Amino acid sequence: MEKTALEACEAACEGTTADLAAIRGKLVTEQSAVQLADLFKALGDPTRVKIIHALQQSELCVHDLTQVLDMGQSAISHQLRLLRNLRIVKRRKVGKTVFYSLDDDHVEQLFMLTLQHLIHS
């Protein structure tokens, strides 16, 4: 019986013909890997995902977000602080009111691509 490529590789794998040194040289730095992992961790919380989705539609203040998400101000503020520290959202102050929006187009693109990936069958 003929072995599949996977079985042959597992039995006595000698690697591929890929240029491993070139691949290693192009890997993200440790700092970038940590930042990217932190970004995906932030997206790993349903409340933060809902906040991002709401802010994708419109700039909102904390009160607006409490109404949209039916949550307390303290919980929303906590999540916004985390998202702000990761540069996912930014804030703009007008008098005593603080308005939140997505930090830049990259955040929106990342969010939309991820959402499209989930919808794609």
Q: What is the pLDDT of residues 36-66, one digit of tens each?
A: 999 999 999 999 999 999 999 999 999 999 9
pLDDT at 10 (0 to 100)? 64
Residues with pLDDT less than 70, the chain: 1-11, 121
Long-range contacts of 38-45 (CB under 8 A, 24+ apart): 38/86, 39/86, 39/88, 39/110, 42/82, 42/83, 42/86, 42/88, 43/111, 43/114, 45/79
Place of tokens 């939309």: 112
Q: Are 89 and 103 in contact (CB under 8 A)?
A: yes
AA letter at 46: P
Helix (H) or strand (E) holding 12: helix 5-12
Identity at 38, one-letter amino acid code: D
